[in-house]
Amino acid sequence: MTAAHDSHASDYVPGEMPIVEHTTTFLGVMGLFKWGSLGLAAFLTLLIFWFCTPAGFLPGFIVAVIMVAAGIYFLREKPTAGH
């Protein structure tokens, strides 16, 4: 081991690192998964109604729009209760 390698080990101090970047990244990834999953589910529903049932495009589009509206209602950020 070199002296430079030992100095890097001492740079980390538990409890001293700011977690703002970690929190921001976590919230961004969770938002991407949440809204991406909603979009993917609505798109797949549209395609299934359009190509796999005799209903066609318009009913599939209507169901997809309803799914997106319900998803936005249920997945939106809710105000936190003050304690």
Q: What is the DSSP string of 14-51?
A: TT-S--HHHHHHHHHHHHHHHHHHHHHHHHHHHHHHHH
pLDDT (tens digit per residue) in 27-50? 999 999 999 999 999 999 999 999
pLDDT at 15: 72
Q: Report if residue 56 sits inside a domain.
A: yes
Q: Report if residue 52 sits inside a domain.
A: yes
The dihedral of CA 26, 67, 65, 41: what is its sign? positive
Q: Report if residue 58 sits inside a domain.
A: yes
Q: Report if residue 20 sits inside a domain.
A: no
In percent, how much of the chain has pLDDT > 70? 83
Q: Report if residue 40 sits inside a domain.
A: yes
Domain of 53 in residue numbering reads as 34-76
Q: Report if residue 1 sits inside a domain.
A: no
Q: How many domains does the chain have?
A: 1
